[in-house]
Amino acid sequence: MSGGGDFTGNFDGALAAALGALVKATKAVGRLPEDIEFHRTVDDAADQRLSEVSERVLAMGNALCAGARAGPGPAEIEGVDDIAEKGGDGAWGAAPGFRSVTDTVDTLLEKIDVGLDEVLKTAAHRMRSLAQQSAPVVTTVVAGQQQQQQQQQQSVRIVHAQNIPRPQLQFKDAIDNSSATPFVWKIREKPHARVPLDHGLPSEDMADTPLGQHLHKLGIPRPRSPASPAGSGATTPRRGAPAPSIAQTLAALTASEAGSLRALPHPYEYEITHAEHPKRLFDAGSEQQPAGWDETPFEFVDSEAALGEMMAHLETASEIAIDLEHHDYRSYQGFTCLIQVSSRTRDYVVDALALRAELQCLNRVTADPQRIKVFHGADHDIQWLQRDFGVYVVGLFDTYHASKVLNMAHHSLAHLLKTYCGYHADKKYQLADWRIRPVPDEMMRYARADTHFLLYIFDRMRTELLERGQRLVGVDVGSPDSAHFGELAGMDTVMSAVQPMELVLQRSDQTSLKTYIKEGYDADHGMGGGGWAKLLKKWNHPLTPTQLTVYRVLHQWRDSCAREEDESVRYVLPNHMLFAVADRMPEEAAQLLAACRPTPPLVRLHAADIVRLIAQARKAAQSRINDVRADVEETPEPRRPVHTRFDDSGSPISGDIPRPDVLTPELLASVDDMVAPGSALFGSPTAVTSAAAGTIKGGASPGAEQMAAAARAREIRAGLVLTVAVPQTVVTGAQADREFKRVGKRAVSPEPQQQEEHKAKRPAAPV
Ligand code: AMP
Ligand code: MN
Ligand code: ZN
């Protein structure tokens, strides 16, 4: 950090000073008026001062993040707006800056996860047998860079315990982490069906196909033939839309998107798209205050009997608030740990680990379009319910979508709780280990609060949506003269004829139509959420061609190990270690372990295999590089142009012209896209393109310059050849590792004299 005293060697002093400053800053922020934007418009001096301070804070934030990353990492935050906005998917951070902050925090947490495991392991060793779960340990991390709306909280609480029994060992359903098979439904019965369960599934004619066999193995019911009017599993006769043709279904089923496997169709798609929303959503009814916390009967549901009682109660409720807590560190796909449910009069927290196999009965209320289900930011919840229990939601009202349509300042549940209920949610537990049983009191309170107030929040938002809709009646939305123009313009979309409530319901329907898709693995191109290309791009980590080969092999090893052991990839080998190992390419197990400290258990276990894989990758990369070299040397000079080309003055250009297919900026850009942004190994792509442009234009001494350019073109082509010819490696350089050296942390550049060459050809650019 710049500014402040010199605390070199005095960590405690630095920490105390930093914390003091942080507390002061936080207090000051708390005193800022809520309508700060208004003050900025009326007071120029204040506006300017605020802008200066904002910029300083932003720069400090970036410096802090850079420090925390200690190496290349996510891109910098460019503006305050980057941070303030949460992602459009209703879940956590999609805005670039927010993501950059959360990525940094993720990396820190990842390190803490590994560190805590290590510390707790030795502590546990001393105190008790390894098989026993330790008491929960609460770790408070002062993070400071929470979402802006939670300024009052600077800490993330991580509740950990050592030796938590792996709940998935008790699951009755088999966990299928295979990247070759798509996710298939758990749902067996379909309450509130308007079309049968097997509507749209492949028929038994498909029994011989791999998909048919997979479905059969999993006991998914299929119609006897495509023509059969109602197949097995139907509870009501088919009505409405005709079944899609088998060809359509199969095409949809077998098409795999980049890096992910397609799921089966949504079993309630027809019901969701054809449901009539309950009338009372459009009645400005009364708002019902939530009952007091202590007066509300609360139940932890962890037996079938208790579940039966809860269901009986819910079947009398017309609105139900639901939320989920999830665990994904010690599991490949993750699993739901708790389901919180509130009616107007009762709160429940369901033990989703103990009752995993029994929870499909929830469909009796969740799939009933007449019972309004209120969630906040349900994108993930919807998918987790399908994946773990075969539970679907018909009739969703998502308060996140409502907060967007109402154009509220922030869209988190914490903000809604504060705005409507004056309740300060303790979001510190968001990242707690929800597998811990018995659930510690403070975690239980946190979980329960997530739904306790939600129906009242729904009431308030419904009132506001309907009021706003009233004011819209007869308003010429497009006219700036309209008294409501400002208000309308403030809405997050062009509202035109759509009423705010309708808009929320449409978006909520879209959310409830989400299907869980198991992540595939795209070894060749690294596409998909967990793909190697995305990670490389995100980290912007420079790698030589050989290191890149090693990185890809490690990435794939990590993925298959995680699938096999049912662990998250970050448990198997955290990202920062993956890059550290790719950098060092250790030749012996001891070196590997030294690159990963503290060593993740699965790395220790498989150290010999990993080292062997690295050696193979290095060898393969080297021999490919040699092959391509030989190929380049044998390649004849570029062909002469078939068409005559003219320079700017209209004179014909003669001589060798590099093949345009090699040199198009698009092509170069796409290659650059495939690899880390910082790895334009020839210098910047612009430099290459302008070098080529120089050739085509000819010039004073066409001969020498064109020869040089043609040579460059061959190099570039060799790079592309290598890219295409080496399915195991994407390499942007035609040259071997040692011909490149790392300059600074991010850039990989050619040798100095080549760099000079580039500079000479590059048009002078402001730095
Ligand atoms: P919530 O809806 O806020 O209660 O969050 C539900 C679950 O989502 C939590 O149990 C976590 O597993 C996960 N989750 C919530 N927030 C985050 C976050 N910022 N980063 C990663 N996971 C999160
Ligand atoms: Mn949630
Ligand atoms: Zn929650």
pLDDT tens-place string over residues 712-724: 555 544 444 333 3
The tens digit of pLDDT for each residue in 46-69 reads: 767 766 766 676 666 656 656 555
Ligand 1 mean position, distance from CA 110 (Å): 15
Read off φ and ψ for residue 323, nearest 5 degrees: -150, 160
Give the span between the Cα atoms of 425 and 450, in whole angstroms.
8
pTM flag (> 0.95): no
Ligand 3 mean position, distance from CA 647 (Å): 66
Ligand closest to CA 412: 1
In ligand 1, the atom with minimum distance to the C-alpha of 327 is 12
Nearest residue (CA) to ligand 1, atom 6 = 325
Are the CB atoms for 690 and 761 separated by under 8 Å?
A: yes
Nearest residue (CA) to ligand 1, atom 15 = 430
With a 6 A CB cut-off, is 92 part of the ligand 1 pocket? Answer: yes
Ligand 1 mean position, distance from CA 499 (Å): 31
Read off φ and ψ for residue 396, nearest 5 degrees: -95, 140
SS3 of residue 652 by DSSP: strand
Are the CB atoms for 383 and 515 separated by under 8 Å?
A: yes
Nearest residue (CA) to ligand 1, atom 18 = 92
Give the span between the Cα atoms of 82 and 73, in whole angstroms.
17
Ligand 3 mean position, distance from CA 443 (Å): 10
With a 6 A CB cut-off, is 329 part of the ligand 1 pocket? Answer: no
Give the span between the Cα atoms of 270 and 194, in whole angstroms.
8
List the one residue out of 429, 454, 453 whose CA is nearest residue 439: 429
With a 6 A CB cut-off, is 325 part of the ligand 1 pocket? Answer: yes
List the one residue out of 243, 232, 241, 245 whose CA is nearest residue 272: 241
Residue 189 in tokens: 């019965």
With a 6 A CB cut-off, is 556 part of the ligand 1 pocket? Answer: no
| pLDDT beneath 50: ranges in the chain | 1-5, 70-75, 78-99, 124-131, 140-154, 204, 223-251, 254-259, 483, 485-486, 489-490, 492-496, 641, 656-702, 716-767
**Which residue among 326, 382, 445 has the greatest number of ligand 1 atoms within 8 angstroms of its CB, and so is best to mutate?**
326
In ligand 1, the atom with minimum distance to the C-alpha of 102 is 19
Q: Count Cβ atoms within 10 A of the Cβ of residue 131 and give its class: 0-12 exposed, 13-18 middle, 19 or more buried.
A: exposed
In ligand 1, the atom with minimum distance to the C-alpha of 338 is 10
Ligand 2 mean position, distance from CA 450 (Å): 8
pLDDT of residue 764: 41
In ligand 1, the atom with minimum distance to the C-alpha of 376 is 2
pLDDT of residue 732: 31
Ligand 2 mean position, distance from CA 285 (Å): 26
Output the 3-class SS for 471-519: HHCCCCCCCCCCCCHHHHHCCCCCCCCCCHHHHHHHHHHHHHCCCCCCE
Give the span between the Cα atoms of 136 and 206, in whole angstroms.
50
pLDDT of residue 66: 60
Ligand 3 mean position, distance from CA 414 (Å): 11
With a 6 A CB cut-off, is 434 part of the ligand 1 pocket? Answer: yes
SS3 of residue 322 by DSSP: strand
With a 6 A CB cut-off, is 345 part of the ligand 1 pocket? Answer: no
Nearest residue (CA) to ligand 1, atom 3 = 430
pLDDT of residue 751: 34
With a 6 A CB cut-off, is 326 part of the ligand 1 pocket? Answer: yes
**Around Cβ 639, how many Cβ atoms within 10 Å?**
10
Q: Which single residue is written with the structure tokens 């009952």?
A: 291
Ligand 3 mean position, distance from CA 739 (Å): 52
With a 6 A CB cut-off, is 754 part of the ligand 1 pocket? Answer: no
List the strands of the sheet with 298-301, edge to edge. Answer: 298-301, 347-351, 335-342, 319-327, 372-375, 396-398
